[in-house]
Every structure is written in structure tokens, then in C-alpha cells.
Amino acid sequence: MKAMKFIIPVLVILLLRAEPALAHIKWFVEFDIAEPPRQLTEVLNGTFWLLLLVASVGLLILYSIDIKWSRAQRFDWFGRFFSNQPNIVDTIARIGTGVFFVMLWLIGDVILAPDLLGDAAFLPYLHLFAAIFVLFESTMILSALCILALYGYGITQYGFYHMLDYMLFPGLAAYLVLKSIGGTRLEQYRVPLLVVGMLFSFLWVAIEKFAYPQWFDPFLDSNEFLTMGLPRDFFLMCAAFVEFTLVYVLLTGRNVVSLAALALNLMIIAGAVHFGKVDTIGHFLVIVILIIMTIKGPSVYSFFSYRENRGVLAQAGIIVMSYWLALGLMVSMYYGFHYLAYGRP
């Protein structure tokens, strides 16, 4: 119980100051992705299990509240605010995509993200064309093809494992394709595909904090205040749980989704202000997608639906157990795909 009294306030502080935890470490330090990740026997230590217990209790309480709240009313304040602008989501997505790819065109020597450097002559043009083609709905599919070409080129240069950090780009391409062709039943899945692609990227890099805590040492050496005096390994494990848990709520919650998306966006914007241009450009599309999530709420991408004929605690318990499965699945994928890409050390 003494440990619980210590960890819970730490997690609350981390949630309130989570912008350093959400920084994409590959944008700021040198790293070797072929380096074997930390052994699972080291990851699954006593601190891991205690933090998992704290997160599970917190989620059980949160989902119990969310279920009762959803039964009483649907929270769609942001959606209602923009109800007289039915195309607001598509407008935000297209403007955001255009601005992002113009920024990459101006930089010139990157492939979709700050850590993916490339000197091929065609890269700036693909970024520019991706921006131009979102101007017209009929040509958005060409913008998607440019994005997929950039993503594919990134795989040839950095490998599929590294590019799993950036699944938001295939999600964005799917969004643009479905919006461009229009008039099909598949069009309703354009926002879910966009959102799930982005959230997968967050889940993936959350596991990175378990697997490669040593990558953060140079970053924390120059930003020691971020740890708040806590041991680094403990701080990073807390940060990983905060990030993974918050994104899981975005995938599975109902009324809390808009508020959680807004909170996460404010954290990321605060981090961008602190860490500067690289972080701002790297997270720009994420900020755009989180704005869309704030307006849309859970829509059809929520993996659970609350049922009136089931008990609140029973439903909340099922979602918490699914959280355990999701965490286990992501850890298994992270380590399994690393083995497929690089083999054993």
C-alpha cells in the first residue's frame, strides 16, 4: 500500500506533464534500431506489474464512470458546436495534410518524418505533389499514392520495422483514397482508418520505452528536470504506461474520447513549444488528427459498445482485461517483428 501511495501521485504528475513522455526519441538522439531490445525478463519486473495494477484500477474506475455517463447522455459538445459545418472534418484533414507536406517539401531531405533522412532528388517533388493533390477531391487519390510511394521508399531505406513507427501515413493514405472515390459504403471507414493508424503509432512507440530505455539517456542528460528527480528507469516505465493507457482509452472509450483527445493534444502542443521546430513538424499531423477526434468523438472506431443489459463493473472489467491483452499483443509484436527483421543478437 505504501508503494501504491507513492506511485499514484507520480502517475498523476506524469499525466499532467506528459509532453516529454510523448516526445519521439528518434528525432532527437542517435540510435541503432538493429540493437537487440532489453530482455523481457528485465522489462517484466516488479515495477512493471505494480504499474500495471495501478493502471488497471484507474481504468476500471474510468470506464465505470464512462459507462454510466454514456447511459445518461451522449457527450458531443464539440460535434454539436460544428454541426452547421458538416464538412469540417474533411476540411481540417485536407488543410492539415497540405500544410504538413509543404513543410516537408521546404525541408527537402526527409522522408515523411524528421528521423528519416533521404537525399533522392524526387523526394521534395513527392512531398509537394502530395500537398497539391489534396486541393481537389478528385485528385486526393493521387496524393495518397504519393504518400504510399514515400512510405514504400522509407521501407527500402530503413526497413519495415522502423517504418512501423509511422503507420499513421498508410492510415492517412487510406483516408484520402476513400474520400476521393466517394459514394461507397467503405467511405464511412475513412476516419476510423486515419485514427487507428495514428494511434497504432503511439502504442508502438510506447513499447519502445520498455525496450530501449538507454536511447533516452542523452535526451534526459540535457533535460534532467523532466524526470522530476525520479530514477530514469522508473520514470520511463511510468511514461510508457501513461502513453499506452491514454491511447487505449482513445481506442475504446465513449464519452471520454473527445476530452482525452483534447488533453493529449494539449500535451503534444506543450511539448512542441518546449522542444521546438523538429517536434512541431514531426507531430503536426498527429495534432490535426487529434483535433478531428475531438470533434468526432468515438464514431465507429471504438472497439467496444456499452450495453444497457450488462452490469457496469462487468463491462468495465472486460475492457480492462482487453487492455492486458492489448499490452501483451503490442509487446509480442514489438519483440517478434524485431526478431523477424534483425534476428537474434
Strand (E) positions, the chain?
Answer: 110-111, 113-117
CA of 111: how far to CAs of 96, 126, 146, 149, 240, in Å? 17, 10, 11, 10, 26
- Tens digits of per-residue pLDDT, 150-201? 999 999 999 999 999 999 999 999 999 988 887 667 777 888 889 889 999 9
pTM score, two decimals?
0.85
- Residues 267 and 274: their CA atoms lie apart, in Å, by 11
| Run of H or E including 18 | none
Kindly provide the b/e burial profile for residues 107-133, where b requires at least 16 CB atoms within 10 angstroms of the residue's own CB: eeebbbbbbbebeeeebbebbbbbbbb
Kindly provide the b/e burial profile for residues 194-225, where b requires at least 16 CB atoms within 10 angstroms of the residue's own CB: bbbbbbbbbbbbbbbbbbbbebbeebbeeeee
Residue carrying the nine cell digits 464514431: 299
CA of 9: how far to CAs of 23, 79, 223, in Å? 22, 33, 21
CA of 171: how far to CAs of 59, 106, 178, 195, in Å? 27, 24, 11, 7
What residues contact residue 283 under an 8 Å CB cut-off, 6+ apart? Answer: 24, 268, 271, 272
Mean pLDDT on 317-335: 93
- Tens digits of per-residue pLDDT, 104-159? 998 888 899 888 888 888 999 999 999 999 988 889 999 999 999 999 999 999 99
Mean pLDDT on 43-53: 92
- Residues 25 and 15: their CA atoms lie apart, in Å, by 18
- Residues 117 and 32: their CA atoms lie apart, in Å, by 15
